Every structure is written in C-alpha cells, then in structure tokens.
Structure 1
Amino acid sequence: AERAHQGQTRKSGDPYITHPVAVAQLLADLGIGPAGLAAALLHDTVEDTDYSLTQLKNDFGDEIAMLVDGVTKLDKVKFGENAQAETVRKMVVAMSKDIRVLVIKLADRLHNARTWGFVPEEKARYKAQETLEIYAPLAHRLGISTFKWELEDISFSVLYPKVYDEIVNLVRQRSPKREEFIQGVIGAIDADLKDNKIKGSVAGRPKQYYSIYQKMVVRGREFDDIYDLVGIRVIVPEVRDCYAILGAIHARWNPVPGRFKDYIAMPKFNLYQSLHTTVIGPNGRPVEIQIRTQEMHNRAEYGVAAHWKYKEIGSDGKISSEDDLVWLKHLSDWQHETADPSEFLDALRFEIGAKEVYAFTPKGRVIGLSTGATPVDFAYAVHTEIGHKTMGAKVNGRLVPLETQLHSGDVVEILTSKSQDASPSQDWLQFVQSQRAKSKIKAWFTAERKDDAVERGKDLLAKALRKQNLPIQRALATDSLLKITSDLRYAEPSDLYAAIGDNHLSAQSVVEKMAAALSADEDAEEPVFELPNKPATRTRTGDSGILVRGDADVMVKLARCCTPVPGDDILGFVTRANGVSVHRSDCKNADDLREQSERLIDVSWDISAKALFLVQIQIEALDRGGLLSDVTRVLSEHHVNILSASVSTRADRVALSRFVFEMSNPAALDSLLNAVRRIDNVYDVYRVSNT
C-alpha cells in the first residue's frame, strides 16, 4: 500500500499512507481480522493508483480483492440525489454479501471526517449532511456505537459550528458539579452491588453533543434539563444479576413511571440488549441507568464487530441466521424492487432512522416493526406470502381493521386466505409503514401487470406470425428467439413480449426478424444448370401453371423448399439440370439466388392454366383420440389429394402432423387452413417452407 501511494499526499499535507493506516487501526480496535485489515490498507489502491484489481487478486487472493472491490465501488460519491442514491444502493448490495465491506467503509468515512477541516467548506458540509443521513444511522443499525457517536458529533460541528461550540462550552462549565453528583450515585449503586454479593462495575455515561442538540430541537427541552439528566451504566456478570440490581436500585430510588424498558427480553433491531430505567435520584434529580452483562456491553459498543473482537464466531463477515439482522436482509431484497433511485434513498433514510415497536406472533416470536406499523406490515415481516394472502387480523384476540396501528407487546394473529387467487390490495399502500411491505406490494402489482402485458404480447406476436404463414411453435421455441431478444436489448423473452403487449415494440418488426432467422436455419441451395443462351422473345406455359419468358422448351418446376401457389410473389432461377426452378419471393433461398442475378429469369402465374399445385402444411395440436381422422376429413372436404402424412407426438403431448397434398384451386387454401384451425385441440396450422 505504501509503495502504491508513494508520492501522494492528503489535503492535510500528510503522506497518503497515513489514511489507510488510520482506517486499519480503527478496524483493528474492532478486531476485524487479517483479511479485513489487509483490505483496509489497500482500499484506495485500485481507485487512486495504477495498481489494478487483477494485480491485487494475484498478490493477495480472492477474499481481500473482493473486499477492496466492494469498498472501491462505494468510494466515489457524485453530487446529485440520484447519483448518491445509486451509491447507497451499491452499498446495500455490497454489505448484504459481506458486512466487512460496510464496516471498512464506515471506518474510511470516520477518518476522512476527522480531516474535513482541510477540505473546502461546501464539500465538508455536503459530506457531513450525507454522514448524518446515511452513514451514522447505518453504524447505529450495525450497533457500532463508537463510530456512530463520533460521526454524529463531527458532522454536527461542521453543519452547525456555532451551536456546537455553545454546547461544548456549556458542558465544560457544568462538568465539575455534574461529576461530583455522578460520583455520589456511583457510590450508592456500588454499595447495592456489595449488599447483593454481585461483582460488577459502575460508571457514568458521557453526554454526546449531537444527542444533546437533538433533544433540545426535537423535544424542545432546555439545556439544563437535558444536561442535569445523569446517565449511569452498570455492568454485571449474569443476566439474573441485571434484574437483581434493578430491584435494589428501585428499592433505593423511586422509578419514573413509563421509563422502564426491558431490551434483554426484547432486543433491539441491532441485537442491543440492556435494562433501561429512570429513577428520581439524590436531591430529586433524575438519573438514567442502564444495566447489562459484559457480553451485552460488548455488543452495545461494537455491534456486529463484537463477533470479531470477542471471537464469538469467525471473522469472515457473513451474517448468520441466528444473528437475525433481518433489516439487512430486507434492505438487500427491496433495493432490487425499488426502481426509482430517489424513492430508494428516501425509503432507506426512513428505514434506518425509524424507531421500532415489538409485537408477538401467537407462538411468541418477536417481530420488530417501525413505529406506526399495521397488521399488514406485521404479515410481510413474517413472510412475503403471508402478506400477499392477508385477509384479516386479530390483535390481542380481537378482530381489528388492517390499518390499525400496532403497539409494543401486541399479540398479532394474521388471518390468511386459502384461495390460490389471493392477492394484496392497492389500498394497503395508503397505510403500510415499512419499506418491506411497500416494496413487496408494489413488486406484486408490477409482476401482475407484466404478466398481462406478456400475454397480450404473445397473442399479438402469434397473430402476426400466422398472418405471415410462419410456424408459431417453432418461431417461439428456437434459439433464434433468444437471439432476437438479445439483439433488441431485452434481458429475456418475457421482456420482449411485455414490450409488444405495452405497444413499445411492434409485433411486425419482430416477425420480420423471426422470418429471417427461420429462413437462415433451413437448408437449401439447388444445383444450377445452363439455360440455352437464346433471346428472351417468347413466353411458355408449363404444366406447373407458370409463364416463363424465354425458350419454349425450357423445363419448369415449382421449388419444394417453398412450394409456391398462385397468388404468391415468385421469381425464376435457372438450374444446371432441372430447367427453371420457381421460388416464392420470400423463400429462405431468395436472397442467395438474387446474388446470382445472371441466372434469374422473369416468371409469372398463368391464370388460365389448369394445373395441380403441391402444398405442405404442418398442424400443431394437443394430442387426443380421433385427431388424425378429423384432420383428414376436413382436408377431404376441401377436395385435396393427400400425397403423404406424418405424425409425431412430443413428450409434452403436442401432436405434430405434416401433410403434403395437391390442390387445383390455391385460392381456397386460406379457407382450408381456417377450417383446420377450428378442429378441437388444434392451436396452430401453417404452410411449411421446406421438405
């Protein structure tokens, strides 16, 4: 890393290597592990030096390269809402794959924040606002309090420097008296620990400047009211000790009603556990007290990083199922389902900043939800399919409207529909609160609309293919369809169908490409023979019903590759041994024949001729008894002479029947094909353009 950054300096004037080293030190304090530390040291090399990701992978392996690549993709945030939203979207994807990517990025942002004094004021303010809205809440969601507090305080000092300085001065002025009071409270709780034979430690909790500001602004409280509220933390060995010392403290000082929270029984979204209580302490001053075990304290301070620091699991960055960071899985899900970047960013801000309520399933499972959540939010938090099939809800045993707001402690039973057609309601979007519920509902209706468009598109394409007498089944089932889909820049055939169904793409333009592809798939060139070089002065009618301009004795035959019939546009081609071969103008071989223009000859239909014409058709139908006899009956009714018939049945029970017959009145061909289509189970019939 030092070699790659040789000669580079920071805005502060320090050698650039001081930055990755500082980031690595922050992560070492979290215990991230060797791979994470290596990635921290190398995290800017790919972005800011000539050192490539391929070189890095060769030198350090796939794991470190993956982490560096993940951080690199998040490293450059462009100005503008959509650009920022897309960067955050990438962040969510990256951290859902390996949480270390986000932790490295948070450490990177924290060290950069410490040096914002050396960057232009406007840029520093932009970064500070972004940090308050995105990075600090994500650090909170991951439970890394040490990062969260410093990110918030630095951002606060950049955005509101005068207010920040005022609060710092007020804290400094009040500190001596406050510290004296805190020591008195600590001494009293220490005595309770000894009386109950509990080994534990008691300490004051420092006030965070941004937290004080938030309470002054949001709650409209005076500084003295906030600062006088003393915070104490008690750490004990066992969970039972938490409740024991809680009882002793409540016996000493009266608890404030409504201020007790049991986060041990019901952990927060980021796995935080602790007992919270507020009591009226000495001299009538309120005291906030947190009681937890050492393990709970580690998690409260370091969040997901506690696993690495205290070796509870390996440091591979994967989130295990028992960790149950459900919100992280949900973020990964709905970032795919939210197409609009601004909507995604707004939803992310809401999701990571929302306070939670805790409701229970009838079996006692705790479900964390955003404040204001409804039974529909609850249903989607349990499982997407339960959400889709929701038809009612009971809260604490009573039926309630689906828009009812839930409260902590509610027991929620979701009533689901057994119908296969059960689906969400558009009206739910008016009252659901969670982004998960909103995205799942919108995704369902988007998929439903797409399904309708796909069906419309298939119908339109089938009609266009039938109009051109092209084989529908073969056209839609071959690799040519995938190629056409790719050529038109659609991800998959269903997207192509949807575009046709929504009138964004014409079916005719797709059919033209399909016709060309089908022709290219069929084989074909006939041998050429020399036509006597005589002046084209006379016209000849052959038995085929064709008028040929040229020699009176030339032989004429209708090409079997396309079996033209009167009414088709045709062209003549001089072969080597079989006279003039007559092809349809849209024959698969027509383009190749036109390249040999010296062998083309004018031909036309003789409307007065009494000739028999060869026709080949293919019928596709769902197999059933009596199908073949019904088809032959219809053909006979149209007075055609059947020369051959072949029938095969595929594994999916589709019967493919090919008939070759002669008919004297080609004008009746359309009528014949329509009659065959009306036969039960027949879904397609078309002329075959090759033998």
Structure 2
Amino acid sequence: LHTRWNPLPGRFKDYIAMPKYNMYQSLHTTVLGPGNHPVEFQIRTHEMHRRAEYGVAAHWKYKEDASSKGKSASGADPDSSQLDWVQQINEWQRETDDPGEFLDSLRFELNTTEVYVFTPKGDVIALPKNATPVDLAYAIHSEVGDRCIGARVNGRLVPLSSKLSNGDICEILVSRAEDAGPSRDWLSFAASPRAISKIKQHFSRERREEAIERGKDQLARQLRRSGLPIQRLLTVEHLTAVADSYRLQNVDALYAAIGEGNVGAQGVVQRLVETEGGLEAAVEEGSEDKHLATLHRRSPGKNDAGVVVEGQPDMWVKLAKCCTPLPGDAIIGFITRENGVSVHRRDCTNAANLLSQPERIVKVDWAVSGGVGYLVAVQVEALDRTGLLSELTKALSDQGISIISALVSTTKDRLAKVRLTFECSDPQFLEHLIKQMRRVSGVYDVYRVSQAS
C-alpha cells in the first residue's frame, strides 16, 4: 500500500504488536488515494475481524470452527446462528428495564421452539412457536408493532390472533394515525417476549401519566383537607426531599406512587410538614395564606397596604406602582393631594424628586401583621427559544402564583427579556420564586425591577 500511495504521517497504527485493552488487533493506515483524498485501510485476519465485530466472547467460536469437521457439504456453519442469538439477548437486555422480566424472557427463549416466517420482501424471521402477526410486527420494529392494525397471511386477511406456521408469508398492515397504539387484548395471544414487553411498556407509560395527575390531585386535596398551605409546602425542594425519603427518583415518581396507591397522600403530607419544620410552623404559614386570600376577597381598606404612618395609624396608605416596595425594603411616605400617603422605596427613581419637598415627607413603617399581597415585577433574561415563556409561567404556577401581566421582547441576537408582574406576600418567598425561574433552561439572570425602569 505504501509503495503505491503516499502514507499520511502519524496515521499508521500497529494494534497487532500492541493490542487494545479489549484484545482488539488490526493494522490501521491512512494514505492519499485518487484525487488526493485520504483513505483509511484496516488490515486484519478473519479471526481478528470476528473479535472486532462480536467481542472477545466470540473468540472461542472461531477457534472451535477452525478445528471442527462438522460443517455441511456446502461449507456453511450449522452453528452460525449462535452468535446472532447472543446479540438478540443483548438487545432484549437494553430494551427491558425490569431484570425479572428479562430473566423470564430468557427462560422462555431457552425452552421454546421456533417457526420461520417470510416477509413480503423475502426476509426470513424466526419467531417462537404459536407466534401471531403481532409478534412478527414487533420483531420487524417496535413502531410497526404499535401501529399494527391487521395482517395478510399468504395473500388472505386474517385476525391478529391467528397463529403463524413455518413458511407463511405475512404482510403487516399499519395505521398512519398519530394516536395509533396497541390493544390490551394483544397480551392474551402475543407469544414473543419482545412483543409482550413492548405492549406492557406502552401501557405503563400511559398509566404513569394518568397516575401522576391522580397523585397531584390527591395530594392537593389532602393538604386542603388538613388546612395546610399548598403554596408553601408544594415546592420543588420539599417534594424532592420527600421523594428522596421514599427512595424515589424524582417528584414525578412521587406523584405516580401516590396515584397508584403505593404511597399514601397523608404520609406525604406528614413528611412535607416535617420538612417545613413541624406542624406549628406549617399552620402558622397556613394562617398567613388564609389571611392573604381573605384580603383578596374583601374590598380595599385603610390598612391593606401593610404600612402604617407614624402617629397616624388610620391614615390612608397606598404602595407606589413605580417601585412596588416589599416588606423589608427601606421606604418613605409622601403625602399626595387626593390619595393619602404614597409609599416608595428609598432607591426609587422618583425618590430624589419627592425628597425635594420635605414638608410632604412622613415617616412610615411596615406593619407587624404582614400577610398582605404586594405587586412585584421581575425581569428574566434568557436565550430565546420555543417554549421559554410557557416554562417560566409554569415555574410560577407550580408555586401557586398567578401572573398579572407579562411583557416579552427579543433582540436580533436571539436574547429574550421577559418582565413578569405578580403578587407576593413574603420577600423570602420571592427569593424562592427567583431561584425556581433561574432553573428554567436558557435563563441566565432573574432580578427584581421597578415598574418605571
């Protein structure tokens, strides 16, 4: 090769003298072929090639064949299907999550006889005894099996439950409908482990989705029945901690376990309360949530803002929309001409203008009672992509937050800016909400803004 074509420097590998860790052996070289295009050659013996294709376990087979005299007159190896069978077992293992189900399939395969069926293209497919067109469909491809609606055997339409015989020519009829899927009845006559496994997997996914929805409803009802705050307890952190305590993979697995009856909703509620810090802390927060709900239902009053004016506790107070202050913010009060005292953050963009009229400035403090809903505006900056706004709103709705307004803009660089306005009663809870939004894929910053900025 190297005398006919020029080799590329550094591209010659001698894996025969120095085999790889998996016993792979071969000579690799790359030369400049016709048109100065690089061409790689791999040179190895039949034994080395079999080891490369099937692994070290195939080495015994090659050695045995070399010394065996049990070949047919045509030179064909009567045991050549053994390695194909091992490869089929390997595929089953990858497709089956349950080890017990895999072992059952293996035992079945070891103790069964086969029938050989032809496809319309002339391919021969080995199926277990008493196999049906459903088994053939799943042997061809799992999607063909899921969309199977009928079969034609030896040119005649037959029921899917019909048993196939040696030499049958079977054509599978499939549906093009998007919602096409297998039937539960197929489990009563399917014979191959692959078909049975795939049918069960399809309905397991379907049942799991239904179980997750049932679990969510049952847990929410149990929390309401116990008078506990849903908004505070059903957070990702709390639910993840409870899922870990049950040794479940994630929150969806927890909801599915509740929906399937494997885990009781009352037991989950108890663990949520323990995660929150005990029943007293949870009930105390629950009373705050109830108070917030009551404030939303009743008409606005003098103390709805949660702020009191020093020396004038009954004075009408409202929170400025330009900076939307929250409890804990440094605030100032400004006496308006018709709307009582307007409360601003000290770092409000209008603060400098207000402080220029000191005679209208009054001292204000946050009320001790708290529990009031306050308007909050946050800005989300993220890489623009499909579904971004949907995932952001879901992150808030999962925490019991209703969005009042949303403003979205994108730049030429595919950067998205989303401003969300909603009500929040607690600065610590706002920090939690910001953390939840930062977990959304593509989001690189979330921060609180004033309405005027």
TM-score normalised according to structure 1 size: 0.33
**Structure ranking higher in strand proportion:** 2
**Structure ranking higher in helix proportion:** 1
